[in-house]
Chain A
Amino acid sequence: MADHIDIVIPDLGDFEDVEVIEILVGAGDSVSREDGLITLETDKASIDVPAPASGKIVELTVSVGDKLSSGDVIGKIFVEVGDTLLVTPAIEAKIAQGDTTVMSSPASLAPESVGKQTISVPDIGDFSDVEVIEVHVSVGDEVNVEDPLLTLETDKAAMDVPSTAKGTVESVLVKVGDTVSEGSPLVIVAAVDAPETATETKPPEKTVTVAAIVPAEKAPTSMSSQAQGLPAINEAGFSKAHASPSVRKLARELGVDLVQVKGSGAKARILHDDVKAFVKKVMTGGAAMPGGGMPKVPVIDFAKFGAVDLQPLTRIQKISGPRLQASWLNLPHVTQHDLADITELEARRQELKGPARERGISLTPLAFVLKACIAALKEYPKVNSSLSEDGLSLVYKQYYHLGFAAETENGLMVPVIRDADKKDVYELAKELAELSLAAREGKLKADQMQGASFTISSLGGIGGTAFTPIVNAPEVAILGVSRSSLQPVWNGSEFKPRLMLPLSFSYDHRVIDGACAVRFTTFLSKTLSNVDALLQAIP
Chain B
Amino acid sequence: MTDKTHDSTVVMDPSERDAAMSAAVTIQEKALTPGPDAIHRAELVVIGSGPGGYTAAFRAADLGLQVTLIERYPMLGGVCLNVGCIPSKALLHAAKVIDEAEAMAVHGVVFGKPTIDAVALGEWKNQIVVRLTGGLVQLAKQRKVTVLQATAKFHSANRLELDNGGMVEFQQCIIAAGSQSVRIPGLPDDPRIVDSSGALELYPLPKRLLVVGGGIIGLEMACVYNSLGVEVSVVELMDSLMPGTDPDLVRPFLKIIKKRYDSIMLGTKVTGMHATVPGIEVSFEGKNAPIAQVYDRVLIAVGRRANGDKLAADKAGVSVDERGVIAVNKQMQTNVPHIFAIGDLVPGPMLAHKASHEAKVAAEVAAGEKSAFDARAIPSVAYTDPEIAWVGLTETDAKRDGIEYEKAHFPWAASGRALSLGRDEGFTKLLFDKASGRVLGGGIVGPGAGDLIAEVGLAIEMGADATDIGRTIHPHPTLSETIAFAAEAFEGTLTDLYLPKKR
Contact = CB atoms under 8 A, between A and B. Distances in A.
B365 to A, nearest CB: 6
Interface in A170-227: 195-197, 200-202, 204-214, 216-223
B277 to A, nearest CB: 52
A146 B39 contact: yes
B463 A252 contact: no
A85 interface: no
Interface residues of B, number: 46
A218 B171 contact: yes
A243 B463 contact: yes
Nearest to B31: A204
A207 B31 CA distance: 9
Contacts of B337: 217-220, 223
Interface stretch (A47-55, A100-108, A332-340): A100-108
Contacts of A204: 30-32, 34, 40, 146
A214 B171 contact: yes
B36 A208 contact: no
Contacts of B330: 235
B260 interface: no
B463 A244 contact: yes
A214 B42 CA distance: 11
B187 interface: no
B375 to A, nearest CB: 8
Interface in B330-345: 330-331, 333, 336-338
Interface in B114-147: 144, 146
B371 A211 contact: no
Interface centre among A204, A219, A252 (most CB of B within 10 A): A204
Contacts of A245: 374-375, 461-462
- The SS class assigned to the A binding surface is loop
Interface in A80-113: 104-107
A242 B433 CA distance: 13
B171 A242 contact: no
A195 B37 contact: yes
B158 interface: yes
Interface string B1-45: 000000000000000000000000000001110111111111100
B249 to A, nearest CB: 25
Interface string B351-368: 000000000000001101
B399 interface: no
A197 B146 contact: no
Interface string A234-253: 01001100111100110011
A243 B376 CA distance: 11
Given A211-B42, A243-B463, A220 B146 contact: no
A211 B172 CA distance: 11
A213 B31 contact: no
A335 B465 CA distance: 61
A222 B363 CA distance: 12
Contact of A220 (B42, B43, B157, B172): B172
B230 interface: no
A425 B337 CA distance: 70
Contacts of B462: 244-245
B319 interface: no
A503 B32 CA distance: 79
A213 B158 contact: yes
Contacts of A208: 41
A338 to B, nearest CB: 52
Interface centre among B43, B169, B436, B465 (most CB of A within 10 A): B169
Contacts of B157: 216-217
Interface in B438-464: 438, 461-463
Contacts of B487: none
Nearest to A251: B374
Contact of A209 (B31, B41, B372): B41
A213 B30 CA distance: 26
A182 to B, nearest CB: 16
Nearest to A220: B365
Contacts of B496: none
Given A201-B38, A205-B146, A220 B333 contact: yes
A8 interface: no
Given A206-B66, A269-B463, A201 B167 contact: no
A220 B369 CA distance: 9
A403 interface: no
Nearest to A269: B463
Interface centre among B38, B330, B371 (most CB of A within 10 A): B38
Given A212-B171, A217-B157, A220-B366, A207 B34 contact: yes
A195 B36 CA distance: 10
Given A195-B37, A197-B34, A208-B41, A244 B374 contact: no
A267 interface: yes
B194 to A, nearest CB: 37
B400 interface: no
A145 interface: yes
B143 to A, nearest CB: 11
B65 to A, nearest CB: 11
30 contacts: A105-B38, A105-B41, A106-B38, A107-B38, A145-B39, A146-B39, A159-B158, A196-B35, A197-B35, A197-B36, A205-B146, A206-B66, A209-B41, A213-B169, A214-B338, A216-B157, A217-B336, A218-B338, A220-B331, A220-B365, A222-B369, A223-B365, A235-B330, A239-B374, A239-B376, A242-B436, A242-B463, A267-B436, A267-B465, A269-B463
Given A107-B38, A159-B158, A217-B336, 4 more contacts: A197-B36, A204-B34, A218-B337, A239-B376
